[in-house]
Structure 1
C-alpha cells in the first residue's frame, strides 16, 4: 500500500493503475512499445500483481499516452476505465458503504492508501455539495489529464456503486481553459461543464449523496475500514509530516517557502517541525533538495525547456548554481538526463 510519505522516485504505485493506462491506449491502437518507451517499466513487472512502480515511471507512461493518443479525450477515457478494485482494501471498504456520502467520507479519510499525490474535500453548499480536487503533481502537461480523470472516474464509479444513472453531478468545474473539444465533456457528463474555474470540482445534489450502494454491507464495511485503519496506523503520525511538507513545497513550484513559513502553514513552530523531521531521519533541506531533484529530472526528460527555465522552476535564479546542485544530487550533469533520457 502507498505510505503517507510519497516521492516521485519511491516504488509506490500498484501495477493495476498503469495496466489500465496501457489498456486504454492499446484500445485506441497505441502500441505497448510506444507507451512503455523510456519508462523503465518491463513486462515482467506488469505481470507481478505485488509489484510497485515509481511516480516518475507513472508520469513517463502518462506522457507517452498523451503524446500518442489519437484524440483529446484521453483523461475522460481513462477516468471511465477506472475500476473500484484498483483501490485495494479501500475499494473493498467503499464498495460496502451504506451510501454515496459515507463512501466519499471514507475516500477522504483513507485516500493516501491509494494515491497521496492528490487530496479532495467535500464542501456543503446548502442543497448541493462541491467535491474539490487538489493535485500535488506540479507538472502542467499532466495536470489537465489528472483533472479529467478525477471528475470522469467519480461519475463512472458513482453510477457503478449505486446502480443508478442519475448518480451524477449537476455541474462540472475545470480550472483549465476551454478546449476546442469542449462538447465532448458535456456529452460525457450530460450536464453543465464550466472551464477556467478557480478550482477543479463537481457540484452534486445532496439527495444524490444519500443514494444507497447496491453492495452495502455493514459488517463488511466495518471489517474493511478496520483494516484500512490498521494500514494507516502503520504509516505512523511522524511519517505523515514529510508528506505535508512536500505538498506545501509542490503547491507553488519555483517559489519554495523558507522553513519558518512552512512551519507556520502547519500551525507549529520551526523548532518543533525541525525536531519532528529529525525524528523520522530527515530535514527540511533534505526534503527540499529531493523535491527539486525530482522536478528537475522530470522537466529534463519530458520537456525541451532550456536549462535556465528549468533552474528557475526549481528555485534557482543562477543556472550555474543549479548545475552544481544537480550534480550533487545525482552525480550527473543535467545533460545526462536530457540526452540519454535515462
Structure 2
C-alpha cells in the first residue's frame, strides 16, 4: 500500500458520522438493526467515541440506508443533520476560527480526521470563490450520496457558524438532475446547476471574511494543535485518487502514462495499480474522469473547434474524442455547447 492512500479495510472513519446515518434512518422509521445488517458494526463500537470503522463498513451501511430510505433526498437530509460537534476536535477548532475563510481552510487541512476518502479545495478568483469537492469515491451511488451530503453540510454549517443566512451564488453538481431538484433549491436558495464538470459551491469572495459567531483565537490555536497531533499519529491519508488526479492536471493535454505517474509517486506501476484497485478504481478511469471534466468546461466556456478541444484533452482524432465523450456523459459534445444558448 502506498503511503498516503486510504483503504477499504483500514479502520479510519470515526463513529460520529455513521451514528448520524443511523439516527437519520431511525427518524424515517428504519431500525438500527436493519441498517447494521451485514456491516459488522456493533452497538458497542457506535457507543465508543474512540472507535473507528472501515470504509467498507460505511459503504455497506450507506447501501442499507439508501435501499430503505423512503425519500430520494437522503444525502441532503444527512448533510443538514450533521452537526459541527460530530467532527470531534476538528469541529471544535472550526467553531473557534476567526472567519469563514479560516474555517474552510482548517477543514480542508484536517478533513482526513473525519473522512479520508475525499479531498476538498478552495479556489479564490477575484469576487467569486469555489469550494470544491475534488476527489471521488469510485462507487456511483455512494458518490452521488456524498455529493448531496457535501452540499448540505457546507450550506448548513456556513449559516450556523456565522449566525447569518448566507447563500451561495450557485451550486454545481457533476451529475444529471435528479427528481428532487426543488429540495436543492429550497436549501441553497440560489441557482442549482447539474451536469457540471465539478461538484462545488460558488460564493461571493467577500463572504469569506464573515466573522464566526464563536470565534476565539486561543481556543482555535489549542484545538488546531490537537488536530495536528492526531493527524500525525494517523499518518497522512490523502487519497491515492487525489494524488493521481493532481499529477494529471499539472499539464492538461499531455497526460503521462501510468508508469510515469507511478514513478512520480515513488512506487512501481504494479503497486500503483493494486492501490487503485483497492479503492475500486483504475488509472484509466481517473484519466477519463479528468478528461470529461476538462472537456465539459471547454465546451461550456470557449468556442474552440472540436478538433482543438479534442487535442487539449489528449485526443488526436476528433472522432475518437466524440465516441469517448458520449461514453462518459451519454451526450454528444454539442449538448453542452448548445446548452449555453438556452
Question: Which deviations, in whole Å up to 9, do the C-alpha atoms of 1:89-139 show, x marking residues without a partner?
Answer: 211111110000111111122222222211111112321211110233111
The 3-state SS of whatever aligns with 1:98 is: coil
> Which residue pairs with 1:95 in the alignment?
95
Question: Which deviations, in whole Å up to 9, do the C-alpha atoms of 1:268-327 show, x marking residues without a partner?
Answer: xxxxx13xxxxxxxx66345325425539xxxxxxxxxxxxx9x989xxxxxxxxxxxxx
> Which residue pairs with 1:336 in the alignment?
none
> Which residue pairs with 2:129 in the alignment?
129
Q: Are 2:287 and 1:288 equivalent residues in the alignment?
A: no
* Alpha-carbon separation, structure 2, partners of 1:35 and 1:257: 42
> Which residue pairs with 2:328 in the alignment?
none
> Which residue pairs with 1:219 in the alignment?
218
* Alpha-carbon separation, structure 1, partners of 2:262 and 2:169: 37
1:50 offset after TM fit, Å?
Answer: 1.5
1:229 offset after TM fit, Å?
Answer: 2.4
Question: Which deviations, in whole Å up to 9, do the C-alpha atoms of 1:165-213 show, x marking residues without a partner?
Answer: 1x22121000110112211211121111011111000111122211111
Equivalent pairs counted in the alignment come to 275
Contact preservation (8 Å) 1:246, 1:287:
no
Q: Are 2:190 and 1:185 equivalent residues in the alignment?
A: no
Contact preservation (8 Å) 1:4, 1:116:
no
Contact preservation (8 Å) 1:173, 1:199:
yes
User: In the TM superposition, what are the counterparts of 1:149-168 in structure 2 within 5 Å?
Assistant: 149-165=149-165, 167-168=166-167
User: In the TM superposition, what are the counterparts of 1:11-160 in structure 2 within 5 Å?
Assistant: 11-160=11-160
| Residues 1:214 and 1:313: Cα distance change in structure 2 (over 3 Å) | closer
| Residues 1:4 and 1:81: Cα distance change in structure 2 (over 3 Å) | farther
> Which residue pairs with 2:294 in the alignment?
none
The 3-state SS of whatever aligns with 1:123 is: strand
Normalising by structure 2, we get a TM-score of 0.73
* Alpha-carbon separation, structure 2, partners of 1:247 and 1:211: 30
1:87 offset after TM fit, Å?
Answer: 1.5
User: In the TM superposition, what are the counterparts of 1:186-335 in structure 2 within 5 Å?
Assistant: 186-235=185-234, 243=238, 245=240, 247-248=242-243, 258-264=258-264, 273-274=266-267, 285-286=270-271, 288-293=273-278, 295=280
Question: Which deviations, in whole Å up to 9, do the C-alpha atoms of 1:68-96 show, x marking residues without a partner?
Answer: 11011000000001111121221111111
Contact preservation (8 Å) 2:5, 2:275:
no
Contact preservation (8 Å) 2:119, 2:242:
no
Question: Which deviations, in whole Å up to 9, do the C-alpha atoms of 1:9-49 show, x marking residues without a partner?
Answer: 01111111100000011101122222111111111221222
The 3-state SS of whatever aligns with 2:123 is: strand
1:5 offset after TM fit, Å?
Answer: 4.1
1:259 offset after TM fit, Å?
Answer: 3.4
> Which residue pairs with 2:302 in the alignment?
none
1:246 offset after TM fit, Å?
Answer: 5.0
1:257 offset after TM fit, Å?
Answer: 5.8
| Residues 1:32 and 1:229: Cα distance change in structure 2 (over 3 Å) | closer
* Alpha-carbon separation, structure 2, partners of 1:109 and 1:74: 27
> Which residue pairs with 2:298 in the alignment?
none
Deviating above 4 A after TM superposition, structure 1's stretches of 4 or more consecutive aligned residues are 248-252
| Residues 1:85 and 1:294: Cα distance change in structure 2 (over 3 Å) | same
Contact preservation (8 Å) 1:13, 1:52:
yes
Contact preservation (8 Å) 1:249, 1:257:
no
Cα RMSD for the two superposed structures: 2.7
* Alpha-carbon separation, structure 2, partners of 1:259 and 1:86: 41
Normalising by structure 1, we get a TM-score of 0.73
The 3-state SS of whatever aligns with 2:119 is: strand
